[in-house]
A and B are shown apart, each in its own frame.
Chain A
Amino acid sequence: MPIEVILPKVDMDMATGKIAKWHVKEGDAVKKGGLLFEIETDKAAMEIDAPSDGIIRNITAFEGAIVPVGQAVALIYQDGESASAPVAAQPLPPVKPITPAPRPDAEQPAVLPAAAASGRFPATPLARRLAKQAGITLENIAGSGPRGRIAAIDVQGALAKPAAPQRVEPGSFEVIPLDGMRRTIAQRLTLSKQTVPHFYLTVNCDLTRLSEIREILNAQAPRDAQKLPVWKLSINDFIIKAMASALKQVPDANVTWADEGIHRHHSCDVGVAVAVEGGLFTPVVRAAETKSLSQVSKEMKDLATRARARKLLPAEYQGGTTTISNLGMYGIEQFTAIINPPHATILAVGAAMERFVPVNGLPVLRTQMTCTLSCDHRAVDGALGAQLLAAFRTFIEEPALMLA
């Protein structure tokens, strides 16, 4: 008899569980106690181990599936047992409609438009009164309550942001006052565009090796006390490290412009553009060439989080010898960035895309990433820029070289 692998109850009040990740696949040999899959819970992901040795088959629930507690999701067969049609499991209790147990923390409220065709808007008495007092209709207020009910908080929200006008007047606009960040960006980048003689170099980087190595490194990441992986490297971490390594290899490009003379920096301080609400910050990973990928990764995560919370210290986003701007997550294939003075370079990274490239005369599908380096011609000439970009590409296409 094959042994059932069930989705177990791990939390009190748990009625269903979501399979986050399978660590084995159909037909794999498993050992008792070995990791089979992870389930997503309110707290950390829960690892589920194999109840016995054998071959795992008949996996019926895959990543992302929401399964009632106690239901079998796979079967483990012993040697000699044939994998027949999926064994009829013992009758399960009827699957209730999937509603995850209510969580104590605030979830994203389902913001639904409150209007019905008849023009009636479900709203609490308090909401109606507040709307009436404020002189606004309920029409354009999205209700956060069940069935789109408008509550006081929704009315208060609508009053706080006088954003959506009832009807757009042609040519109408509202004035958004400039804050410090906006002024700074405007001033500096205008200056850059007007005074820095930009030129642009573009390469396509093959990501095959990088992907392999990244996967190996992430899969083998050791676990900490909470059983979380100590690192989880992103492609961007490799980019930062590659750029720093390239600048080390081409030190003449690790410069910033000054009227008194070009500053050739001794460490490669790579700034990374991080989008925040209303603007962007460019925190700097100092001496990135001396840091391991995991160190870069950890530091970047922290900087990005604090950048978004606007909790960076000036020392953390000033200076730097270059900037990386990655718009790949938005699907941008290629773009050119504006240099942040006094830097001499800025690297614009596009999305990882699958393309057909000729290999030995035949079209082969490869994953590539198009990167464009903007250079300040006063400090970095064409050949120097090309050297830098070529070095960068090399480190991206063969990350092992960064170990040498």
Chain B
Amino acid sequence: MNAPIRELTYAQAIQEALATAMEADERVFLMGEDIGVYGGAFQVTGDLVHRFGEDRVMDTPISELGAAGIAVGAALAGSRPILEFQFSDFAALAMEQIVNQAAKMRFMLGGKVSVPLVMRLPSGSGTGAAAQHSQSLEAWLAHVPGLKVVQPSTPHDAKGLLLAAIDDPDPVMVFEHKLLYKMKGEVPEEAYRIPIGKAVVRRKGRHVTIVATSIMVHRALEAAEVLAGEGIEAEVIDLRTLRPLDTATIIESVKKTTRLACVYEGVKTLGIGAEISALIAESEAFDYLDAPILRLGGVDSPIPYNPTLEKAAVPQTSGIIEQVRNLVKGRI
């Protein structure tokens, strides 16, 4: 059968995916700041430079825009680059190349080219890194046609989604949550791919659907466990991919439970929850809704430094429990 199951951290799972891809395909190479001998700011690339050499694990100067453009050019000319942003916040510097070039090249050129690049973005709050190093900007990029955006929530998914992203002929943005890097989980040794654009039901339930992303999947599952003790069975869906969105899985679940809560770290206003809410309201699931759609997202403020405020700025398990309970009990 398959190779034995063992536990890796989320960061190790990503490293394994990178190594696997580089071993299998000589076109694949890595670019990023401090990913060589330093091993990456979050120690994801680790010792890859010793295994594959500086040509394939390239330290760039601090030039996010230039590096992103180089990734685009290299992808157009037959390479398969994987660019690491040290913090997802720095993607703002590279937005020109990501949004105006990578996302649009194929379309503007009438489908005659593809841009098979991957950009990896350590994302999210909780480390006290404050406003400019803690954002969750996946909704920004999911808003851009031409890009694909994924958010793995477990080590298993981190490896599988990254391998799928590397294989994908179109540009894929992989948002990794910083607090998950040390999370341990079962990761098969062999190479496997998790299809981009497919969500997964992490927990079945019949009273309410909770759609969550990234670290919020874990908080939603904790909340579901507590709520189960009160007789409230929550179905938790891990979106995994933001663009393209697996609308079918969400619709099917909401038709069954009649209630929907979206839990995500990005700012609530105009975030992924807003899209899911509207999507459900437009879909056949509308006639099955027995309660308003609840969104639990980040507050409308930059991420604060103070740890209490930092926690208060994004959904926590206790808040999820309370709000979902209110939703199910018809108080909202």
Residues of chain A whose beta carbon lies under 8 Å from any beta carbon of chain B: 102, 104, 106, 109, 124-129, 144-146, 151-153
Q: What total count of A-B pairs have CB within 8 Å?
A: 38
A145 and B288 contacting across the interface, CB-CB below 8 Å: no
The contact string, 1 if C-beta is below 8 Å from chain A, for chain B 164-189, is: 00000000000000000000000000
Max chain A Cβ within 10 angstroms of own Cβ: one of B286, B290, B291: B290
Choose one: A104, A106, A151; the contact of B290 (CB below 8 Å).
Answer: A151
A146 and B332 contacting across the interface, CB-CB below 8 Å: yes
Residues of chain B within 8 A of A102, CB atoms compared = 322, 325-326, 331
A320 CB to nearest B CB, Å: 41
CA distance A128 to B325 in the complex (A): 23
B331 and A125 contacting across the interface, CB-CB below 8 Å: no
Residues of chain A within 8 A of B332, CB atoms compared = 146
Closest to A154 in B: B330
The contact string, 1 if C-beta is below 8 Å from chain A, for chain B 304-332, is: 00000000000000000010011001111
Closest to A106 in B: B329
A129 and B287 contacting across the interface, CB-CB below 8 Å: yes
B274 interfacial contact with A, CB 8 Å = no
B55 interfacial contact with A, CB 8 Å = no
B258 and A126 contacting across the interface, CB-CB below 8 Å: yes
A151 and B230 contacting across the interface, CB-CB below 8 Å: no
B287 and A151 contacting across the interface, CB-CB below 8 Å: no
CA distance A89 to B247 in the complex (A): 58
Residues of chain A within 8 A of B289, CB atoms compared = 124-126
Closest to A101 in B: B322
20 examples of A-B residue contacts, CB within 8 angstroms: A102-B322, A102-B326, A102-B331, A104-B230, A104-B325, A124-B289, A124-B291, A126-B287, A126-B288, A126-B289, A126-B290, A128-B287, A144-B330, A145-B291, A145-B330, A146-B330, A146-B331, A151-B290, A151-B330, A152-B258
CA distance A104 to B33 in the complex (A): 50
A128 CB to nearest B CB, Å: 8
16 other contacts beyond A151-B290, A153-B330, with CB at 8 A cut-off?
A102-B331, A104-B230, A106-B329, A109-B330, A124-B289, A124-B291, A125-B287, A126-B287, A126-B288, A127-B290, A129-B287, A144-B330, A145-B291, A146-B331, A146-B332, A151-B291
- Classify the secondary structure of B's interface with A: loop
Residues of chain B within 8 A of A151, CB atoms compared = 290-291, 330
A152 and B290 contacting across the interface, CB-CB below 8 Å: yes
CA distance A144 to B326 in the complex (A): 13
Residues of chain A within 8 A of B287, CB atoms compared = 125-126, 128-129
Residues of chain B within 8 A of A153, CB atoms compared = 290, 330
CA distance A322 to B26 in the complex (A): 100
Residues of chain A within 8 A of B290, CB atoms compared = 124-127, 151-153
B149 CB to nearest A CB, Å: 30
Residues of chain A within 8 A of B325, CB atoms compared = 102, 104
B78 CB to nearest A CB, Å: 52
CA distance A395 to B326 in the complex (A): 54
5 closest pairs, A vs B, by CB? A126-B290, A152-B290, A124-B290, A129-B287, A125-B289
B311 CB to nearest A CB, Å: 17
Residues of chain B within 8 A of A109, CB atoms compared = 330
CA distance A27 to B329 in the complex (A): 46
Residues of chain A within 8 A of B288, CB atoms compared = 125-126, 129
A166 CB to nearest B CB, Å: 24
CA distance A62 to B291 in the complex (A): 39
Closest to A143 in B: B330
Closest to B286 in A: A125
CA distance A128 to B286 in the complex (A): 11
Residues of chain B within 8 A of A104, CB atoms compared = 230, 325
A105 CB to nearest B CB, Å: 9
CA distance A102 to B258 in the complex (A): 22
A176 CB to nearest B CB, Å: 31
Residues of chain A within 8 A of B329, CB atoms compared = 106
Residues of chain B within 8 A of A145, CB atoms compared = 291, 330
CA distance A104 to B324 in the complex (A): 12
A33 CB to nearest B CB, Å: 35
CA distance A151 to B286 in the complex (A): 14
CA distance A145 to B258 in the complex (A): 15
B76 CB to nearest A CB, Å: 48
A308 CB to nearest B CB, Å: 24
Max chain B Cβ within 10 angstroms of own Cβ: one of A109, A125, A127, A153: A125
A153 CB to nearest B CB, Å: 7
Residues of chain B within 8 A of A106, CB atoms compared = 329
B42 CB to nearest A CB, Å: 36
A394 CB to nearest B CB, Å: 54
Closest to B281 in A: A125
Residues of chain A within 8 A of B331, CB atoms compared = 102, 146
Residues of chain A within 8 A of B230, CB atoms compared = 104
B180 CB to nearest A CB, Å: 30
Q: In the complex, which residues 246-280 of chain B have their Cβ closer than 8 Å to any Cβ of chain A? A: 258
B292 CB to nearest A CB, Å: 8
CA distance A25 to B289 in the complex (A): 54
A63 CB to nearest B CB, Å: 28
CA distance A241 to B290 in the complex (A): 54
Residues of chain B within 8 A of A128, CB atoms compared = 287
Residues of chain A within 8 A of B291, CB atoms compared = 124, 145, 151
B96 CB to nearest A CB, Å: 43
